[in-house]
Amino acid sequence: MINEIPVPKDVLLPFPTDGVLLQALIVVLFLAHILFVNLMLGGVLMTVACEILGLRRPNFDTLAHEIARTVTVNKSLAVVLGVGPLLAINVLYTIYFYSANALTGTAWIMIVPLVATAFLVTYLHKYSWEYLARFKALHIAIGLLSAALFLCVPFIFLANINLMLFPNRWTEVRGFLSTLLLPNVLPRFLHFLLACLAVTALFLVAYLTRPSYPVEQVFPGWDRATIRRGFYSVAFFATAAQFVAGPLLFFTLPAAGMSWLLVAVIAVGVLLALWALLWMWREISSDDQRIGRRFVGVAAVLSLVVLCMGYGRHLYRETAIDPHRRLTLQKAADYRVAAAAAHWRQVAGVQVEKLPLGELVYNQVCAACHMSGRVLVGPSLEEIAEIYAGNPDGIIKWTNAPGRKRMNLPPMAAQPLGDKKLRAVAEYMLRVGAGLPAESEAGSQPASPDSSIPAESPASAPAA
């Protein structure tokens, strides 16, 4: 139900530019970034595969070395071009992106050291080629480590981006591994890997058979037609496999983000992909003199396919989060109205019926993190009542000087509210958590006019 969805605070800041322009930028900038991510990861995987084949066929070892030369360049471009979409997603989807980051926790933070380590291992693999020529098993192991590290980074990122689309599932998440149980993570990763192979193979068709490249000298016994046919075959089969991975991806998407426009955009992308497959098959089947003549057409059609899929991804994201975004905006508007009314009552000296002190303090401070029946940022009232049964002093002591009990949740900040308020709210929470009437708490007297918690109080810090 929509009322069960957790609602973070709205960010009451204007966009730095038009929202439609930001949405267009996030699609274009992301596609530019993902192109070089594809080339980087596809290059690493093909380098390792060709080096293993090179144990028996020397030309494949040479081919692996040539592909490895492109990886570090594509890696640098991927990093530089990743800044733009990261900034755009921070602006457009602030509460969703950061909420997902917090929920995936350690795994998300590990992206930075993983990327740095992957870069260093990749350079080691690239520049130790001759030095470790007699220790091929060791050199291949270094390449495999590089590939494994590079696979981890997009896997974490995809899981995180997938999580931000489904706020109604946030309360179920207990760290990174639990995000993998959400629908669509593994199909998205498979789709991504196949795209890496297809894009990299098509790039290598052009790169390794360019007019200035001495193919026959570098690869004795091979010519341009051989290399083109080989990489066209990889691109063809990787693209054909998308007709299995694509439906798997589509039909595991939760219905929350579906729309007829999305279906239409994906259908156009599928038709274009079929066209590209037909042209690639004709290239593979061409004689040696004619192969390569359709390369520009194949690349152009596949670029349109990628554009359709990128736009479709954005459409799904917007549709999926729209109900939560509307709810968040409504909650924020309600809060602003309530705050304005409270300010007016204070200025005008208007008195309203007071809540019991414990309930008032709970609503103003504790309810942001502790609720009855479910876990938010901290344990539920039922769990608190079980831990501190008959021991309100234990809650008071913990609240004044909290530590950290749950490594998968943020630490609770100290709440220096004073013993009177802390005792009242402790007894209130124990009664509610135990299923007893809240009215009979010891602190059930109406709160005095000065009992409310000011907005700038340290009590507004996160609690767990």
Structural domains present in the chain: 2-328 (no CATH), 353-460 (1.10.760.10)
pLDDT value of residue 341 = 61
pLDDT value of residue 17 = 83
Dist. CA 430–CA 426, nearest whole Å = 6
Amino acid at the residue 389? A
Nearest alpha-carbon partner for 427 in 458, 385, 370: 385
Dist. CA 243–CA 240, nearest whole Å = 6
* The two three-digit tokens of residue 195, written as one number: 């795209």
List of the chain residues with pLDDT < 50: 1-3, 441-444, 449-464
pLDDT value of residue 452 = 47
3-state secondary structure of 27: helix
Half-sphere exposure of 301 (CA within 13 A, CB side): 18
Dist. CA 249–CA 188, nearest whole Å = 6
pLDDT value of residue 137 = 96
pLDDT value of residue 450 = 47
CA angle 443, 448, 454 (to 5 degrees): 100
pTM: 0.75
* The two three-digit tokens of residue 170, written as one number: 């946030």
3-state secondary structure of 153: helix
pLDDT value of residue 461 = 36
pLDDT value of residue 37 = 97
| CA atoms 226, 232, 238, 241: torsion sign | negative
Question: How far out from the chain centre does Cα 302 lie?
Answer: 25
pLDDT value of residue 355 = 76
pLDDT value of residue 456 = 36
Dist. CA 260–CA 294, nearest whole Å = 33
